[in-house]
Structure 1
Amino acid sequence: MDSLVGAEFAPKSTYLNTSTCGLLPRRAVEAVKELADELADGRPGGSGDFGAVDAARASFARLVGVSGERVAVGGSVAVHVALIAASLPPGAEVVLPEGEFSSVVTPFVVRGDLKVRLVPLDGIADAVGAGTALVALSSVQSKDGRIADLPSVRAAAAASGARILLDASQSAGWLPLDAGAYDYTVTAGFKYLLCPRGTSFLTVAAEAQESLVPLHAGLLGGEDPWGSTYGPVEEFAASARRYDEPPSYLSYHTAAQSLPLLEEIGIEAIHAHNTALAARFRAGLTELGHAPVPGDSGVVAVPGLGGRQPELARAGVVVTARAGILRASFHLYNSDADVDRALDVLSG
């Protein structure tokens, strides 16, 4: 793992901020440069290759344990969530965690005719009842890195007949995920998947596809895309490709290189690496008299320490401050030395 990572990454800072944005591997940077040159030179195919989109789709599918036929591509999680929100009947109850990321919450709230219930994260399973149509939550919370009790949520949803929408943006790429265990998953590509903005993935279970209308479908949603160029699409793709958004080719040419790197290393190995670094950081913080959010997440949050973020930045340590919380997030390109550098700055 070390040699492969060393060949792909050379950050010029102590970068502990993947929960905001992941770093691009060298192979991905070269791919986007090549396409940009083709766009500038007017070479045939310079607009981009849909084969790269399908390669990224297939790689993501393997990473999350589903068939590529269950994956739709897009540009943002908010658009995927809005598609699901639009499919619900008026008056449907949606249960979400308090403090959930706004892209997961807002599309349901702006409908105005849904019953949206916000409950504590650890009370999600208890809040799901016979009247619940959908429970939506992130597997790892953006604000503080807490990992949701997903087995309990799945059991509650199964008992009540509710569907589940899981946002894996803060976990896919380091936390093992079986996307097939959920009706829908949405994932931003620009964090732990090491893709640029403009890449996102929606998985749709076969039975959930029956009630999801392809509202933003264009020709790419057709079973025969190039036979669907003019007029309405007459036959949508039988797969989740019917929900594809027109892709940003620059982004997806990059993703087609980044995602296979994660496959080469393996999510289990990355999980062990990330969580070991996070545990080292939590232990060091505790020794310094700070109280990080407990758990075994690869994301470490320290309430009340957000004010130290500018000091860390001046020292070349990149972290995030959110709502007074200092958040450090670890990924495959980080090391023990990165952890110790951050602790050294915080020790004064």
Structure 2
Amino acid sequence: MREAFGATFIGPEGYLNTASYGLPPKTTVDALERVHRGWAAGTIAGPDFDADIATARAAFASLAGVPAGSVAMGSSVAALLGPVASSLPDGARVLVAEGEFTSVSFPFAAHGGRGVTVTEVPLERLPELASEHDVVAVSTVQSADGARVDLAALRAATRGTDTLVVLDGTQQLGWLRLDLAWADVVVSSSYKWMLGPTGVAWASYADTLAERLVPHHANRYAGGLPWETTYGLPLRLADDARRFDISPAWFPVVGAAASLSWMASLDLERVTAHSRALADAARGALHLPPGDSAIVSIPAEHAAKRLQEAGLRASVRQGAARIAFHLYNTQDDLDRVVDALTS
């Protein structure tokens, strides 16, 4: 076990794969075990999860810096971007970064049959070209190598234009606080740096955009009073972004509530400093270019194999080993990486 930022983690030794999925604090594991025991005993009911859903929604809003009333709950980033892509007019022009995570690009590319075009450009050119497009969609921290988009430049380039800005914070939220509230859409999964289970994702839709979106997944839980909209017409949905909610994945949302509310209570500046310090030290020791991310891409030959042989958990993205330092990682993890790759 390992203690980090006041929480206990069961087994993160040598775990450097948070960019794939984060490890839960023990309190989250305990919460999930309790609800699964209740399931087995037949003692839980749908309304028992309402408080967890509200807690998780509020925690995401806090981490993303957006109003809770603008936040919709979904199962994945792609599902939450589907209504955005569907709202675009025929022939809309969408701009994405080269090598962008496909949950961001595919929902728009799927509308190619009605003339929607998706153009890939180098990440650093996104601000320069954004105003020439109807939509710019980008991960604030790139999944493959941890590169960060210049948000200040992107905001300046799109201010006063009709360009819709879509930001995916999946590889950012939980280790880095940035101002995202100005964007039209902010989406994120819960299962990476926010340390929740898979199956729960969130989207904040600006009011001006939400007015144009069709709630394609309209369901009982998207109702104004969820337990009173179970049967019959007319359509009666929530007035705020809850009208875009999917019916909740009960057990994952319990874990999301536990992990996200804990993450939202932390001093994120300390988490950033801790994660960045380890990543910067790794880049220095491995003679890699400087960076500003908790994700480190290591293009050295056989790097992934050497990390695996040393008992370290990492991943491979675009031909390079990818490691990620989060709040539960330590100097020992860093030393093991350096030893594995420089011995």
Fold agreement, TM-score > 0.5: yes
What code does the residue aligned with 1:164 have? Answer: V
In the TM superposition, residue 338 of structure 1 has moved relative to its aligned partner by 0.7
C-alpha separation in 2, matches of 1:277 and 1:133:
39
The equivalent residue for 1:62 is 62
- Indicate the residue corresponding to 2:316 in structure 1: 321
* Contact 1:47–1:249 under 8 Å retained in 2: no
**Unaligned 5+ runs, structure 2:** none
Q: C-alpha deviations, 1:113-141, integer Å up to 9, x for none?
A: 202111111111111235x2211000001
Shift of residue 3, structure 1, vs aligned partner: 5.3
The alpha carbon displacement at 1:177 in A equals 2.8
User: What corresponds to 1:241 in structure 2?
Assistant: 242
Deviation at 1:23, TM superposition (A): 0.1
C-alpha contact 2:95 2:120 (8 A) present in aligned 1: yes
For the structure 1 residues 342 and 6, does the alpha-carbon distance in structure 2 shift closer, same or farther, using more than 3 Å as the test?
farther
- Contact kept? 2:314, 2:323, Cα under 8 Å: yes
Q: Is contact 1:170–1:191 with CA below 8 Å preserved after alignment?
A: yes
Instruction: Please state if 1:303 is matched with 2:279.
Output: no
Pair 19,229 (structure 1): closer, same or farther in 2 beyond 3 Å: same
Which letter does structure 2 place at the counterpart of 1:83?
P
Q: TM-score, length-normalised on structure 1?
A: 0.93
DSSP-derived class of the 1:182 partner: coil
**Which residue does the alignment assign to 1:16?**
16
- What letter matches 2:122 in structure 1? P
Does the 8 Å CA contact 1:93/1:115 hold for their aligned counterparts? yes
SS at match of 1:15: coil
TM-score, length-scaled by structure 2: 0.94
For 2:131, the aligned partner's letter is: G
Instruction: Check the 8 A contact 1:87/1:211 in 2, yes or no.
Output: yes
Report the AA paired with residue 296 of structure 2: V
Cα 1:64–1:145 change in 2 (3 A) is same
- Partner residue in 1 for 2:104: 104
Identity %: 38
In the alignment, structure 1 segments of 5+ residues that lack a partner are none
Q: Distance in 1 between matches of 2:38 and 2:234?
A: 31
What is the one-letter code of the residue matched to 2:52? A
Letter in 2 for 1:161: D
Residue 314 of structure 1 deviates from its aligned partner by 2.5
8 A Cα contact 1:218 1:233, kept in partner: no
Q: Conserved in 2, the CA contact under 8 Å of 1:312 and 1:318? A: yes
Deviation of 1:238 after TM superposition, in Å, equals 1.4
Residues 9-158 of structure 1 aligned to structure 2 (within 5 Å): 9-11=9-11, 13-45=13-45, 48-112=48-112, 113=114, 114-130=116-132, 132-158=133-159
Does residue 219 of structure 1 match 2:220?
yes
Q: How far, CA to CA, are the matches of 2:134 and 2:46 in structure 1?
A: 45
Deviations 1:81-139 (CA, angstroms, capped at 9, x unpaired): 22211111111111111110011111111111202111111111111235x22110000
Contact 2:310 2:336 in 1 (8 A): no
TM-aligned CA deviation for residue 265 of structure 1: 2.1
Residues matched between the structures, number: 340
Task: Kindly indicate whether the alpha-carbon contact (under 8 Å) linking 1:13 and 1:318 is maintained by their aligned counterparts in 2.
Answer: no
- Whole-Å Cα distance in 2 between the matches of residues 217 and 16 of structure 1? 39
Partner in structure 2 of residue 276 of structure 1: 277
SS at match of 2:181: helix
Q: Structure 2 matches for 1:175-194, cutoff 5 A?
A: 175-194=176-195
